[in-house]
Every structure is written in C-alpha cells, then in structure tokens.
Structure 1
Amino acid sequence: MRVAVIGAGSIGGWVIAALEREGLGPEAVIVRGTAPEGVRAVRSVADLPAGVTHLVDCAGHAGLAAHGPGALAAGIDVITLSLGALADAGLARDLALAAEAGCTRLHLASGAIGALDALRAGAVGGLSRVRYTGRKPPAGWVGSPAEAVLDLSALTAPAAHFEGTAREAALRYPKNANVAAAVALAGLGFDATQARLVADPEAGGNIHEIEAEGVFGSFRFEITGAALPDTPRSSALAAMSVVAELRRLGARVTT
C-alpha cells in the first residue's frame, strides 16, 4: 500500500503525521501551498509519484470533486471524509463512473460518528425511520447558514436552525453535515433520512445522535466528539477514522 493525501490543513496535517508513524509515507500531498516538512508537495493527481495505490481526501468537498474522479480513473483507490459531497448527484455519478473505468473503489471513512455498522445491517432487513441530530455550541455554527436563522451570540437555550432531509443538510451545510451524509449512505439514503441541526449553548462539544427503527428493532446512538488539539472545528475522530480505514484495507483479517 502506497498512500498520498489531498490537503494539509488541520485534519490533513494530523493524518500525514499519523501515516508517518504507521510507516505509510505519505508518498506525496496534493496542496495549493506548501506541504509539511519532509513531504513532497504536488498540484494534481497527474503529478503523484508512480505506484501510489490509495489517495486520502482530507480537503473537503472541493478537494474530492477536483481530484477524486481523476484518481479513481487512474487506478488509485480514494478514501474520503467528504461524504456530504455525494449529495450532489452529478458528482456522485462522476465518481462512480470513474471508479468503474479505473477498476477502483471510493471508500467512505466513518468520520465523526459511530454505529454505522449497525445501521448498514439494519438496512438489509428494512429500515422504517432514521433521524440524525447534530448539536454544537453556537460558536460551532459561525460561518454557516445558521447565522441567517438564529442570533448565535444571544442564545440562552437550545434552538434548531435546520430540519429537513440529509441531502438538504449536506448541500446547505457543506462544512458541517458530513455526518448526516454518513448516516444517510449507511441507511435509508439522502432523501429518506431526516436531519436536525441544533445550536446548543449547553453543549460541551459536538454531539451527534442517530435514531433508527426497522425490522431489526430500534437503537439510539450518541457521541460527543472532541476536537483536534488547537483546531476546535476539526473532529479528532474524523481524522482517526481515515487511518483506521487504511489499517482495515491493509489487514488480512478485517472487522
């Protein structure tokens, strides 16, 4: 396995350092600016060293759209955290066609949420209801469409600023709704999965909740995610999930 990375921001930088500890390179990083010391910087998939087998997307929706199809078509598997980008039906189609052309796979990292294995299993028997709720402190929604709905600086109690489908959430909140997309892709799909986004001054972190019902029974899962050191907007678990996925892909026995 020879790995390259898209992006060297907060999550990308953490992943690059983790890959070095794992003995997985990286071979290069696709960036607009400079790469971390000792890592080769390139501008596109065409510039990657020969022999790269896996490309890790840590650059958000734009990074996946810009480099994902080219990598897949060139015979390089892609691991992405930008699951919300797949709410764009055109991009999802382009990625699928590129993977077919290159005999490759697009792997979806679990990101900042858990319990997706149970949701995928439940979908086999049939799901009747799946709802995702994302709850963050008001400051966590600054710079998002929530500012047009709520006075984030004046909140004294939890307030929802979005309720709709997971597709609507992913398209309207591209930097905040990758978890909603992960839940949708594991279960009922973008249009049948309900999403609710809440600004909560009492929240002690970013809280993600899944509620699901189906033939299997029902479950409710909640996780409070910690941020990466010095980067309060970036989920530590999301970064860790990329390395976990690479470990899984390289293992002889997988879970």
Structure 2
Amino acid sequence: MKIGLIGEGAIGRYVTEKLTEIGLAPQAVLTRPARVQGAQDSAVLRVDSAADLPSDITLVVDCAGHAALIEHGAAILERGIDLVTVSIGALADQQLEQRLNDAAQSGGAQLILATGAIGALDCLHAARVGGLTQVTYTGRKPPTGWRGSPAEDRIDLDGLTDAAIHFEGTAREAATEYPKNANVAAAVALAGVGFDNTTAQLIADPTVTSNIHEIHASGAFGSFHFRIEGTALPDNPRSSALAAMSVVSAVERRRAAITT
C-alpha cells in the first residue's frame, strides 16, 4: 500500500506520525503550489495536482478541509485511487456528492468516510433497513471549540456562563454553515435518514472541557441514545482526536485480512 496525504494541519500531522509508526509513511503530499516550491529538499514528494501523484499511490488520505476535497477529490477518484476523507460535511453539497460518486464509479475507486469522531453509525445503518422515524444530532463544545465559526456572531463566546444554543436546523444546514465544526452531523445524516431529515443542534457550553456528541434515534427497531465525550487535538481545539485516530484506523482496515 502506497499512501498519499492531503493536509498538514493538526489531523494531518497526527495521521502522518501514526502511519509512520506502522510502516505506512505517506509517500507524497498533495498541497498548495507555494508549499511545493518551498519544499524542494523535502524527503517526501510534494505536488499541487492530483495528476502529479506518483502512479504507484494506491490510497490518498484527506486530512484537510472541505476546499481540498472539492478541489482534488474527483480527480483522485477518476485516477482509480481510493480516497479516505475527514471532510464529510462537504457532501452536504448535492452537486459535489454526485460529482464524487460519478468520479468513483468512472475510476473504479472508493470514497471512504472517516467517521470515527462519533460512534453508533453502524447501528444507524442497520436501523435504516427497517425504517428510521427520527434522528437528532447534538454537538456540544467549550466556547473555544467554536472559534472561527458563525457562533462568534450569534452568541458572546467570551461572556458565556451557561450553555447556549447557537444553531438549530437540519444536518445539511449545519454542515454548510459550520464547515469546520459539523462533520459529525454530516456523518450521522449519511448513516441514517439523510441531510434534510436529520435534526442538528449545536451548543457552546463553558461548563464542559471536551467535545460531546449525542445521537437520539427511533424507528421500527426501537430507540437508542448514544453519547461520546472526546478530547480535541492539543494544537487545534476544533479538531477531534478521535477523528484523527479514525483516519489511521480506516487505513489499517484497508490492509487487514479480517475487519469489522
């Protein structure tokens, strides 16, 4: 397995470190043109186009934001290269979702969504077979976790003394308005009743120190409530440590003889 990487931020650095530990260090990095020009002496090949990725790359891991998936996703899949991405919220754009689907079919490749920041998605997948009636996602983070998002314009993040809801709507709206914060809402939607039928609520809470994700679901199977409290990566309060871990796990499963 030869791996290419998109993104050298907090998640990208974590993934690179862990993949290197298991003998799967990225062979190439797809990055911005300026970084390609400034990294001529780097031990890792840097390119600014999917067309320039080496021919022996078999899997690309996208650890960047939505813009990277939009720019490079289809071209990678059309080349027949499988793609693991953390940018799940970008699929709220129906045209992008269709373009990526068409590209994957054309290239005989697969787009793998790294959904490890939230659990119970296998349960949602199964429940969807029998019929889901309602799915609600609630995301709760400390105020610092909402920096750089529309929450800054909707509530006083610095002056909060109690939990405050700053978004209520559909998962599609959440993923569109909060591209750096609502990938989990998108993952829940894709596993369950879809972007437009999944209700999302986003909360800034000064009394918590972790990122808390909750799913409430009901249907023919019965009902369940799932809650996970995850820590953020040390150098980026908006990035889930478990999301980064899930990328590495997704890569490991690609080469496992037996997998879940």
- Structure 1 residues 229-238 or 184-193, which shifts more? 229-238
Q: Number of paired residues?
A: 255
TM-score (norm 1): 0.96
Equivalent in the alignment of 1:248:
253
Equivalent in the alignment of 2:225:
220
Tell me if the contact between 2:146 and 2:238 (Cα under 8 Å) persists in the aligned partners. no
**Superposed counterparts of 1:90-239, under 5 Å:** 90-239=95-244
Please give the secondary structure, in 1, of the residue aligned with 2:72: helix
Structure 2 unaligned spans of 5+: none
What is the aligned counterpart of 1:70 among 70, 75, 79?
75
In the TM superposition, what is the alpha-carbon distance from 1:50 to its structure 2 partner?
Answer: 1.5
Alignment of 1:26 with 2:18, yes or no, is: no
**Superposed counterparts of 1:72-91, under 5 Å:** 72-91=77-96
Whole-angstrom CA distance in 2 between matches of 1:101 and 1:126: 31
**Superposed counterparts of 1:4-43, under 5 Å:** 4-32=4-32, 33=35, 38-43=43-48
TM-score (norm 2): 0.95
Whole-angstrom CA distance in 2 between matches of 1:17 and 1:113: 22
In the TM superposition, what is the alpha-carbon distance from 1:230 to its structure 2 partner?
Answer: 2.9
Whole-angstrom CA distance in 1 between matches of 2:92 and 2:102: 16
Equivalent in the alignment of 1:3:
3
Whole-angstrom CA distance in 2 between matches of 1:173 and 1:234: 13
- Structure 1 residues 229-238 or 2-11, which shifts more? 229-238
**Which amino acid is 1:30 matched to?**
L
In the TM superposition, what is the alpha-carbon distance from 1:181 to its structure 2 partner?
Answer: 0.1
Whole-angstrom CA distance in 1 between matches of 2:22 and 2:237: 25
Whole-angstrom CA distance in 1 between matches of 2:157 and 2:244: 27
Tell me if the contact between 1:133 and 1:209 (Cα under 8 Å) persists in the aligned partners. yes
Tell me if the contact between 2:142 and 2:206 (Cα under 8 Å) persists in the aligned partners. yes
- Structure 1 residues 194-203 or 111-120, which shifts more? 111-120
- Please give the root-mean-square deviation of Cα atoms over the aligned residues, in Å: 1.4
**Which amino acid is 1:131 matched to?**
T
Whole-angstrom CA distance in 2 between matches of 1:111 and 1:221: 14
Tell me if the contact between 2:181 and 2:238 (Cα under 8 Å) persists in the aligned partners. no
**Which amino acid is 1:243 matched to?**
V
Among all aligned residue pairs of Structure 1 and Structure 2, give the percentage whose two residues are the same amino acid: 60
Tell me if the contact between 1:81 and 1:111 (Cα under 8 Å) persists in the aligned partners. no
**Which amino acid is 2:8 matched to?**
A
In the TM superposition, what is the alpha-carbon distance from 1:37 to its structure 2 partner?
Answer: 5.7
Whole-angstrom CA distance in 1 between matches of 2:237 and 2:187: 21
In the TM superposition, what is the alpha-carbon distance from 1:229 to its structure 2 partner?
Answer: 2.8
In the TM superposition, what is the alpha-carbon distance from 1:192 to its structure 2 partner?
Answer: 0.3
**Which amino acid is 1:43 matched to?**
D
In the TM superposition, what is the alpha-carbon distance from 1:171 to its structure 2 partner?
Answer: 0.3
